Amino acid sequence: MSKQDLAPTAYTAFLEPQDQSGSAGLEKHLDPPASWTQLEFWDKDGNPYLKEYEGRGLLQDKAVLITGGDSGIGRSAAILMAREGADITICYLEHEKEDAEWTIKQIEKEGRKAHGISGDLKSMDVCKNIVDEHMKVHGRLNVLVNNASMQEACMDHSKIDLDVVQSTFQTNIIPMIALAKFALPHMKRGDNIINTASVAGYMGNPALVDYSSTKGAIVSFTRALAQQQAPHGIRVNAVAPGVIWTPLQPATNNLPADAMKGLGINEAPFNRPGMPVEIGTAYVFLASPLSSFATGTCHHANGASELQG
């Protein structure tokens, strides 16, 4: 089996040391490449094989706005939702433009309208402009996926960089609150918001104290907003991924390159990192009528690394 044709269960054997620290990370440098659209199935003898995700029109003619949609989990959600019939806007940082352009092409290959917007979500003006531009392009906003985030490792809290802490909160949770504020006036009954939390928001992570704190805040934000919007028929849910093979991992500052080789090993019974497609399907489910009675929930996809959420 080559690196280009891996089932998720085989990934751990191929992970190599790598480092993209100092940036948000790029898919083109990720080795082996992640899987965004191929799901793992098993034959009658229990042997794994890959099959492309096939849409069923679950989001036909909906318009979706995804932050951090250029790569990783956001990329998978964007492509899968396009296969379900949705038009997509993705938001990304300027230096991630190459990843974003690739994702946009994949959306367009599905016959759907795609639009990309670059900008730093730490600016509230940028958050508002993103929603405004999305509306100009698509004319409707049915699903908001708050997915963009950052993390930087620190094993000694007495030495944590408070500027980084502030940046983590300004990237991970404050834009979610802002984007929901700007999006809700355009949303109607049946529309929904999906926030990306993390297993770290439930377990905590000693190397990611500030990141874990923002992810816990996202869970509470989701529950509170869901209760507020339920009378209006707008659902609000979250997804809490475990360790997933995305550029965010090698791009995490202060983690050694060797940490990537053992990523996911002994962190969950599956003994491997998850693939973006294994999380992207959760966003399709939560955005679609399949989850019409679910709001205020958090979908856990972590390979059983945490079982109390």
Contact predicate 91/130, CB 8 Å: yes
pLDDT score, position 174: 98
Indicate the domain borders of the chain.
27-301
Mean pLDDT, rounded, for 116-141: 98
pLDDT score, position 2: 57
Q: Helices 209-229 and 162-172, interaxial angle, to 10°?
A: 30
Mean pLDDT, rounded, for 96-125: 97
Residue 207, classified by CB atoms within 10 Å of its CB into exposed (0-12), middle (13-18) or buried (19+), is middle
Task: Evaluate if residue 248 carries a pLDDT over 70.
Answer: no
Contact predicate 260/17, CB 8 Å: yes
Other CB atoms closer than 10 Å to residue 159's CB: what's the count? 7
Asked if residue 17 has a cis previous peptide bond (ω within 30° of 0), the answer is no
pLDDT score, position 284: 98
Task: Evaluate if residue 264 carries a pLDDT over 80.
Answer: no
* CA 239 – CA 197 distance, rounded (Å): 6
Other CB atoms closer than 10 Å to residue 256's CB: what's the count? 11
Mean pLDDT, rounded, for 219-246: 95
The answer to which of 25-34, 64-73, 92-101, 145-154 has the lowest mean pLDDT is: 25-34
List pLDDT tens digits, range 131-148.
999 999 999 999 999 999
- Could you tell me the pLDDT band of residue 253, with boundaries at 50, 70 and 90? low
Q: Tell me which long-range contacts 202-206 makes (C-beta under 8 A, separation of at least 24).
A: 202/240, 202/300, 202/306, 202/308, 202/309, 203/305, 203/306, 206/155
- Could you tell me the pLDDT band of residue 306, with boundaries at 50, 70 and 90? confident
Q: Of 29, 78, 18, nearest to 276 (Cα)?
A: 78
Other CB atoms closer than 10 Å to residue 183's CB: what's the count? 24
Task: Evaluate if residue 107 carries a pLDDT over 80.
Answer: yes
Q: What is the mean pLDDT of the chain?
A: 90
136 vs 246, more confident: 136
List pLDDT tens digits, range 147-196.
999 988 899 999 999 999 999 999 999 999 999 999 999 999 999 999 99
Mean pLDDT, rounded, for 67-80: 96
Q: Which of 44-48, 71-75, 180-184 has the highest mean pLDDT?
A: 180-184
Look at the domain 27-301 and name its fold.
Rossmann fold (3.40.50)
Q: Of 180, 145, 144, 142, nearest to 61 (Cα)?
A: 142
pLDDT score, position 231: 98
Task: Evaluate if residue 1 carries a pLDDT over 50.
Answer: no
pLDDT score, position 305: 77
List pLDDT tens digits, range 17-44.
767 676 657 777 777 778 899 999 999 9
Task: Evaluate if residue 255 carries a pLDDT over 80.
Answer: no
Active site residue 211: yes
Task: Evaluate if residue 74 carries a pLDDT over 80.
Answer: yes
92, 202, 211, 283: the active-site residue: 211
Mean pLDDT, rounded, for 283-308: 92
pLDDT score, position 93: 93
